[in-house]
A and B are shown apart, each in its own frame.
Chain A
Amino acid sequence: MTPILQLTDVCHAYGEGENRQPVLHNVSFTLAAGEFAALVGQSGSGKSTLLNQVGLLEHALSGSIRLNGQEVTTLDDNALTRLRNEQLGFIFQFHHLLNAYTALENVMVPLKIRGRPEKALRERAQSLLARAGLSGLENRFPNQLSGGQQQRVAIVRALMAGPALVLADEPTGNLDSETTGRIFELLRQINREDGTAFLIVTHDHGLAMSCDRQLTLKDGRLVGDTSPSPAR
């Protein structure tokens, strides 16, 4: 399969001089288009840092990151910003919706950033919200939705621009087990139906086992890359 993401010897560290703290050591892996992978590891293992590198939010100190075949480590901030908007979707542990916008408007934000007129986006946004079981809630503001509903809106927002890869940082970390199951099922369904690749950071062993592939980080090193999952 065509690789959507290719990391080669990615290293990263925080701090300067004596305070320099390495967090990623020569991490290399490839993610194919349509893959559904979990990134697991203990707290402080470097999962969030790796996600930030892949999400083009931080520059790697060394190594190579190719997104859809394009080397991104040499790009400037403007180019990275554009790539984030066009190629990536983000789902955060806390939904991080804009409180000033309704559910429908939140979903349309990534494409409105791109300058698309609202009229042209409304239909797609409504259909995606319906697919996530949020029909009738389009005009509610985030504070009028439950935690699960808020996270569903955040998922739909991540998918709105049709990204090649969705990066999810503990997408169910703040939800009860029943809601977690439903959210995970929604992600799985989107992956199967749309072929969107997912890289999901999770502490939930059960969820990780349900993914096609598990990448395990320990002390900034990739120590495990297993697939397929027997639980699948």
Chain B
Amino acid sequence: MSRLLPLLAFIALALLLFVGVRMNSGKDNSAIPSPLLGKAAPELLLPELVLPESHLGIADLKGKAYVLNVWGSWCVSCRVEHPVITELAQSGIMVVGYNYKDSPEDAARWLARYGNPFALVVQDRDGQAALDWGIYGAPETFVIDAAGVVRFKHIGPLTPEIVQEKILPVLQEAP
């Protein structure tokens, strides 16, 4: 029996990998609609992460449209979408970082390692405020218009297609 154990363990592993490859070939992360869509975004009552490059405060967000990106230094998929976020920010759109369940030191290091696209980073260390936003993981991305209404939400890493087809149109039609 004990000789069969390695084989059984491997079969379990192979099954998992099989499911993994299958899942990967037709991923759809945006299936869950947010109840916040079309409603006012919750107020950001979070401490800011102090970074040398930050040049905005939460008060400056009032009356402006912005993209809120939920990320954490522990989150691998956030690294994958990071170039997309950077490009979005470089195109002149204000992107606010929502640092989720993370320590300030790790967050600052992560931004140092990969570059900081965010005009401002707010911190939700224990994930309490995330409940108000209906956030249940990272990465997630919200688009909030100038009136403070949530216009779009995406779960999972952003791709250039989502930015082109969903986010930019929403931002253009928003007042």
* Chains A and B form a bound pair: no
Footprint of B on A, CB under 8 Å?
none
